[in-house]
């Protein structure tokens, strides 16, 4: 079977399908993140990244700086320390 699928009828079981592509799954997973002190920053980061993706090009640089300081910088208001250094590194080039 392809990755992310079960053997019983081919029902998709990947995280992306269940928690990103399916509206009810996405809503429930986001509520789970936001309702837990341990995962609230991850939920907020997800929401802010989605908002960033909707930004006009002229607003992206300022929005990216705000995201980095809030979520990626130790001591930031909602630092996501679980992210790897590669995930939080500023883009190059």
Q: In 3-state terms, what secondary structure has residue 67?
A: helix
* Ordered mean pLDDT values, 10 residues apiece, the chain (93 residues): 54 87 94 93 94 94 93 90 85 72
What do you get for the CA distance between the two ends of the chain, in Å? 39
Q: Give the separation between CA 88 and CA 72, rounded to whole angstroms.
A: 6
Tell me, what's the pLDDT at 52?
94
Residue-range domains of the chain with CATH? 15-88 (1.10.167.10)
């Amino acid at each position: 079977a392809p990755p992310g699928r079960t053997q019983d009828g081919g029902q998709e079981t990947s995280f992306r399908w269940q928690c990103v592509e399916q509206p009810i799954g996405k809503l429930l997973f986001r509520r789970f993140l936001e309702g837990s002190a341990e995962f609230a920053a991850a939920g907020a980061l997800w929401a802010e990244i989605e908002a960033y993706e909707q930004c006009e090009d002229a607003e992206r640089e300022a929005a990216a700086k705000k995201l980095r300081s809030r979520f990626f910088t130790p001591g930031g208001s909602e630092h996501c320390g679980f992210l790897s250094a590669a995930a939080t590194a500023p883009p190059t080039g």
